[in-house]
Amino acid sequence: MADKKGIEHLMEAEKRATKIVKDAREQKTERMKQAKTEAGELVEGYRLEKDAAFNSKSADLLVMDDGASIEAETAQEINQMKADYAANKQATIDYMMNLVTTVTLK
């Protein structure tokens, strides 16, 4: 009878140990799922932050590039106008003087 009680006691201890191990595995699995979810959220937040910073810098560079190209284009057009003025200045003066000093009788 004592052997039977000892065996039953061992069987109960084995069942309790099995339940403890099972519960520990379930808790570990749950913690891993939770950690994976938290890590995913952190990674997504970090990715969104870096994307926003990249887009901001890209927009700034694009604006700078547009501004620089507009300034260069404007400077080129101004230089072209100055060259046209210098090239046509004397011809225009001569034409105007000719119109003013020439009298035609009708």
Quick: pLDDT tens for 15-31: 999 999 999 999 999 99
Gap between the Cα atoms of 4 and 82, Å rounded: 115
Residue whose structure tokens are 């003013």: 100
33-92 pLDDT per residue, tens: 999 999 999 999 999 999 998 988 887 777 666 667 788 889 999 999 999 999 999 999
Gap between the Cα atoms of 26 and 22, Å rounded: 6
- Residue 104 Cα distances to 18, 76, 91, 100, 101, angstroms: 124, 43, 21, 11, 10
Here the tokens at position 51 are 């994307």
Gap between the Cα atoms of 40 and 32, Å rounded: 12
Gap between the Cα atoms of 53 and 47, Å rounded: 10
